[in-house]
Amino acid sequence: MTQTDKAIDRTKLLPSDPSQQWVCTACSFNMIGFYPKRCRFCGATPEHFTTALDCSATRQVEAVQVSDRISQLKSAPPFDFEHAAYRIDTGNGIVWIDCPSTFDSQMTPMEYILFTHYDCLGASNLYRQEFRTQVWIHQRDAVHPNSRRFSFDRTFEADFELLGIEAVVMGGHTPGFTLYFFEDTLFLCDYVERVDSEFIWNPYGNRVKTPLVGQAVARLLSDRPTPPKTVCGVDYVEDYESWKVKFDRLMMQT
Ligand SMILES: [Zn+2]
């Protein structure tokens, strides 16, 4: 950690009430403590909203094994859209990368939730409250309007390592976009998205910076002494070699 990292005083954070938290069933975004006219993520109207309380009563979180230590987490029954989150059993504690939109009290408690960016905050405030989880995000994503009313225990500004997980700050799609490595797996969330089995740069962020930073991602990957074997993305898990072929094709068009 660097001197610019900020630990946040937990006593200043308000308690979360799942009856006062709304989940957009169109895009699964959680809105804490207020009932907006439109979903702040996808713009859906309020007939698409349900409370986090109802969401927990009608949905659970399903874990699908990716490898010995990693599983993918998603709500079941599924939302029309949800960023997949991932659970890593580091051997020294459980860490989630991003957070499912459904709060499921039956999940094995996790020590940390580390975010790639502000689009996939899910029900992290409720997990944090239930399990006293430490929630970390990049400082520049913490101050974005999508992060409003979410609670973070630490905001970082530089790369770090935690329980064998390597965090690399990239920016691009969002100002504080952070990717993660654990052993031979890369966690990249939605930096690239699949359309007709090809990749496109995520169109919802900064359209200039996303491909530029994408080149830095490519360099980072080629500079690693051993390339990853698996990529965990926003709605897919893919072996690195086939992922890289498509990623390289996207780079060529950029
Ligand atoms: Zn995103």
Which contacts of 223-231 are long-range, i.e. CB under 8 A and separated by 24 or more positions?
226/184, 228/181, 228/184, 228/185, 228/186, 229/184, 229/185, 230/66, 230/67, 230/184, 230/185, 230/186, 231/185, 231/186, 231/188
Annotated domain spans of the chain: 16-253
Q: How far is the CA of 117 from the centre of ligand 1 (A)?
A: 7
Q: How far is the CA of 190 from the centre of ligand 1 (A)?
A: 5
pLDDT tier for residue 4 given thresholds of 50, 70 and 90: low
139-193 tens-digit pLDDT: 999 999 999 899 999 999 999 999 999 999 999 999 999 999 999 999 999 999 9
Alpha-helix runs per DSSP H in the chain: 52-58, 124-131, 139-142, 209-223, 240-253
Q: How far is the CA of 184 from the centre of ligand 1 (A)?
A: 23
Q: What does the mean pLDDT of the chain come to?
A: 93
Task: Give the closest residue to 144 by CA, choosing from 208, 216, 233, 205.
Answer: 205
Q: How far is the CA of 214 from the centre of ligand 1 (A)?
A: 14
Q: What percent of the chain is predicted at pLDDT more than 90?
A: 87
User: Domain 16-253 is in which class?
Assistant: alpha beta
